[in-house]
Amino acid sequence: MAQATGIKEIIKPENLVYKKTKIMTDTVLHYCPGCGHSVVHRVLMEVIDELGIAEQTVGVAPVGCSVFAYNYMNVDMQEAAHGRASAVATGIKRVYPDRFVFAYQGDGESDEHPFPHRARGAAGDDGGKVF
């Protein structure tokens, strides 16, 4: 009879498949089932953590579901009016060109309102990112 493997034999650093990044907070995600916000939060924070730029990162989130990003991301965050996250992110990037600045937007925010702001930001070539 095979001997049962103890839990201490299984839980070892070399067996680790996934570990939550340290720049995601411990707050339980509240998004609706099937919503992609939680996955995007995790992937974005993993990349920022891997690049080692958390201290230089500023995120901008508008009203709506996206505004809760500051509850989950342990980086500097700024809230923006609906449809204006890209404009605010552009302003922050111009004032702090050495920072990694991103606008985190939901579907309504990114599809309907801010096209003129995104176009102006792209024309300015500020290097800002929109997620």
**pLDDT the model gives residue 1:** 47
State pTM to two decimals: 0.74
Instruction: Judge whether residue 38 has pLDDT over 50.
Output: yes
Mean pLDDT of the residues in the chain: 82
Residue 57 contacts residue 45 (beta carbons within 8 Å): no
Q: What's the DSSP call for residue 13?
A: G
The domain spans of the chain are: 48-122
Instruction: Tell me the three state secondary structure of residue 50.
Output: helix
Handedness of CA 111, 80, 50, 33 (dihedral sign): negative
At 64-92, the pLDDT tens digits run 888 888 899 999 999 998 888 888 998 99
Instruction: Judge whether residue 116 has pLDDT over 60.
Output: no
Share of the chain above pLDDT 90, in %: 37
How many other C-beta atoms are found inside a 10 Å radius of the C-beta of residue 14? 4
